[in-house]
């Protein structure tokens, strides 16, 4: 694609993107079952904070094992980053089997592949046992190269996949697309996909039926380990033998894990295509940033149509404000490969927590009591990592051995990631320079309805949002985690912290950790 064509495509399609729904396909096509807020003191065997896939899977498996479980979430069920997923179920590790083997060794790579394979199998087993109608299906995955990249990348990855136990991965001539020749690719058989909210709604109903207690709109203010663990929600508390913090990013510590993972925004478009025009499969390229593609059938009256889901264009959270351009570039990339695209129906974004070594942190929280557990670091594989968390944490809490425990231990360190550690944390340190810069605007009069900007006021900075009615909402621009200056995200209408990934809604309430309290009122 030439530069001029790409620019014209982006300009021509901007209006199509503007007319799309700015929400994930999943939330537009499935309403989650409601549960009440916590209004009493309770005791449980395990209290789980966070009702995304990691929290609900853990709750389901513990309930099935006979544990008394309480689940708390400050929003609706699966209302956080789980609802922003593209829901690939894969044992093809995002960072690549070769990279996982380099960092974790051959046995670590084997365990990583086995754990993701087991996660897909467990999801399938739960779907069958609980009879959850969530569009689950098995299908192939294809890893292909961007134009100009050496074929040696695929050969290296093929050898590493086989070494990791994925012996059925094979190199074939091309991805089975009609209108675009990708050249050689790797085929990963027996991958999976589903509708994540339909699945989690079924899980929640099974938890409830099995005696688990679920509470939404219940913001956890404090978590303390010990005998018992204490979890405070306003004037109420839950005591438990163990607590699991499954809030995507832990909200119960300052630094123990946050220096070992980095937040990245990723962007998604959902484009309508004629049924059967694209073979149903998972697709990933090796570009930087890489692209990921799948299909989802959507009911439309008495008929169904297909949505092609394309993601990519990642950047460090809070360090770019060009989401519409990134969505337009995704559309241009997609139209090159899928000229049958009819219209863009959905656009959204989500935050991915990339760990330094490509695998999630699941287990006992470092520097905390032995009965405090965390699940974080989705590394672009949130659905399988979240399911792994449910399996592993259930075993740890129930006192059972699990071969994955050391691999996912949140306390782990690796000399092979020192360079990445230094790079990411130098980037964090540089963000504090925003304290010394001018505001983005000189006056609130420059802020148009429906947008926000940072204003300098004396020695501090203020995050100012003007709603659609023209009313101003002023908050301190200082993140309540570790004092970084937040940035306005115009696509998601959120205040994003460029240091450790905290996100706040347009009026300053926290929607993603590690910050757990709202931005103070501006002054």
Distance CA 517, CA 222 (A): 10
- Where are the domains positioned within the chain? 433-512
User: What pLDDT, on the 0 to 100 scale, is given for residue 289?
Assistant: 86
Distance CA 74, CA 218 (A): 4
Is 485:479 a contact under the CB 8 Å cutoff?
A: yes
DSSP strands (E only) in 427-466? 451-457, 460-466
User: What pLDDT, on the 0 to 100 scale, is given for residue 269?
Assistant: 97
Residue 137's H or E segment, with its range, is: strand 137-144
Find out if CATH 2.30.30.100 is the number for domain 433-512: no
Phi then psi for 36, rounded to 5 degrees?
Answer: -80, 165
Instruction: Encode 38-67 in three state secondary structure.
Output: CCCCEEEEEEEECCCHHHHHHHHHHHHCCC
User: What pLDDT, on the 0 to 100 scale, is given for residue 442?
Assistant: 84
Q: Determine how β-strand 69-72 pairs with β-strand 213-215.
A: parallel
DSSP strands (E only) in 145-255? 170-172, 185-193, 213-215, 222-224, 229-233, 236-245
Residue 397's H or E segment, with its range, is: helix 382-397
Q: Which three-class secondary structure state does DSSP give residue 367?
A: coil
pLDDT tens for the chain, residues 1 to 523: 232 333 333 444 444 677 888 999 999 999 999 999 999 999 999 999 999 999 999 999 999 999 999 999 999 999 999 999 999 999 999 899 999 999 999 999 999 999 999 999 999 999 999 999 999 999 999 999 999 899 999 999 999 999 999 999 999 999 999 999 999 999 999 999 999 999 999 999 999 999 999 999 999 999 999 999 999 999 999 999 999 999 988 888 766 787 788 889 999 999 999 999 999 999 999 998 899 999 999 987 767 899 999 999 998 888 888 888 999 999 999 999 999 999 999 999 999 999 989 999 999 999 888 999 999 999 899 999 999 999 999 999 999 999 999 999 999 986 566 666 566 666 666 666 666 677 788 888 889 998 988 888 888 889 899 999 989 998 988 888 888 889 988 888 898 888 878 888 888 888 888 888 898 887 6
Query: How many other CB atoms are found less than 10 A from the CB of residue 188?
Result: 22
Is 323:181 a contact under the CB 8 Å cutoff?
A: no
Q: Which three-class secondary structure state does DSSP give residue 431?
A: helix
Query: How many other CB atoms are found less than 10 A from the CB of residue 139?
Result: 17
Phi then psi for 198, rounded to 5 degrees?
Answer: -65, -40
Distance CA 21, CA 494 (A): 17
Nearest-CA neighbor of 233 among 520, 519, 512, 39? Answer: 39
């Amino acid at each position: 694609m030439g530069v001029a064509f790409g620019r014209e495509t982006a300009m021509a399609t901007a209006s199509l993107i503007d007319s799309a729904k700015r929400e994930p396909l999943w939330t537009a096509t499935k309403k989650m079952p409601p549960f009440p807020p916590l209004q009493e003191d309770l005791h449980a065997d395990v209290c789980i904070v966070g009702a995304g896939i990691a929290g609900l899977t853990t709750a389901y498996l513990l309930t099935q094992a006979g544990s008394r479980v309480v689940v708390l979430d400050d929003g609706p069920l699966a209302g956080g980053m789980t609802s922003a997923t593209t829901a690939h179920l894969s044992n093809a590790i995002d960072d690549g089997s070769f990279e996982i083997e380099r960092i974790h060794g051959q046995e670590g790579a084997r365990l990583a592949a086995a754990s993701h394979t087991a996660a897909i199998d467990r999801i399938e087993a739960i779907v069958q046992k609980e009879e959850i109608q969530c569009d689950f299906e098995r299908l192939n995955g294809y890893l292909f190269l961007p134009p100009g990249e050496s074929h040696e990348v695929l050969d290296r990855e093929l050898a590493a996949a086989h070494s990791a136990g994925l012996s059925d991965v094979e190199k074939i001539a091309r991805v089975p697309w009609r209108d675009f020749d990708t050249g050689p690719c790797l085929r990963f058989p027996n991958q999976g996909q589903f509708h994540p909210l339909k699945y989690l709604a079924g899980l929640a109903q099974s938890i409830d039926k099995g005696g688990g207690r679920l509470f939404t709109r219940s913001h956890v203010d404090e978590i303390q380990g010990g005998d018992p663990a204490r979890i405070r929600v306003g004037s109420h508390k839950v005591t438990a033998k163990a607590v699991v913090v499954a809030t995507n990013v832990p909200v119960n510590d300052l630094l123990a894990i946050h220096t070992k993972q980095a937040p990245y925004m990723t962007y998604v478009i959902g484009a309508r295509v004629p049924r059967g025009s694209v073979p149903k499969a998972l697709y990933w390229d090796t570009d930087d940033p890489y692209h990921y593609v799948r299909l989802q059938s959507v009911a439309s009256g008495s008929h169904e149509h297909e949505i092609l889901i394309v993601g990519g264009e990642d950047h460090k959270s809070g360090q770019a404000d060009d989401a519409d351009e990134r969505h337009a570039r995704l559309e241009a990339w997609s139209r090159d490969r899928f000229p049958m695209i009819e219209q863009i129906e959905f656009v959204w974004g989500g935050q991915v927590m990339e760990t330094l070594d490509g695998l999630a942190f699941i287990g006992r929280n470092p520097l905390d009591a032995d009965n405090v557990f965390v699940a974080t670091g989705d590394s672009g594989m949130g659905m399988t990592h979240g399911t792994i968390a449910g399996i592993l944490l259930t075993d740890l809490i129930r006192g059972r051995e699990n071969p994955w425990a050391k691999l996912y231990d949140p306390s782990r360190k690796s000399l092979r990631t020192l360079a990445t550690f230094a790079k990411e944390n130098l980037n964090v340190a540089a963000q504090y320079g925003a304290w010394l810069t001018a505001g983005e605007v000189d006056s609130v009069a420059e802020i148009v309805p429906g947008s926000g900007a940072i204003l300098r006021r004396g020695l501090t900075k203020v995050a100012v949002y003007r709603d659609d009615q023209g009313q101003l909402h002023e908050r301190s621009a200082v993140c309540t985690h570790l004092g970084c200056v937040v940035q306005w995200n115009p696509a998601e209408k959120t205040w994003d912290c460029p240091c450790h990934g905290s996100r706040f809604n347009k009026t300053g309430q926290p929607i993603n950790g590690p910050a757990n309290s709202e931005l103070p009122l501006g002054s």
